Structure 1
């Protein structure tokens, strides 16, 4: 019985990872950030709020990059841009 339960739990983890990846349009970076932030339960009290904030951030970052792909050539600028977007997105979610 114990082995069956362990097996079910092991099979469930990859499925949960796939579902989380799908939520972020298969952008694994956001799925990993989501998982790590949920492990730090003091950061957020709601998985839904976290998802909404990260999804909003993803949309904003993707939009900026699509508007000007040359941004990626300037790493420092992209870092500052993403930091600004992170701050703005999480302020909206509070």
Structure 2
């Protein structure tokens, strides 16, 4: 029941619910040290990868076609989500 409540709360809050649930689980199980460890293990690697890729994208011209393709895929994913929400 506590886990379900935590997930519901994290889905209500802005931001990535998965990171918030991990942080909350760490906090519940091991206090602030556990919350920090959960954040370091779950969120920090993604954040670092994002920073590295963003830096590379602005400095490596060969990545321009890849970024254009990712933009097209992002538009398609958002359009699919909007259509799915419109149906329900």
Q: Work out which structure has the larger RCO, using CA pairs closer than 8 Å and 6 or more positions apart in sequence.
A: 1
Q: Larger Cα Rg: Structure 1 or Structure 2?
A: 2
TM-score (norm 1): 0.28
TM-score (norm 2): 0.29
User: Which structure has greater helix proportion?
Assistant: 2
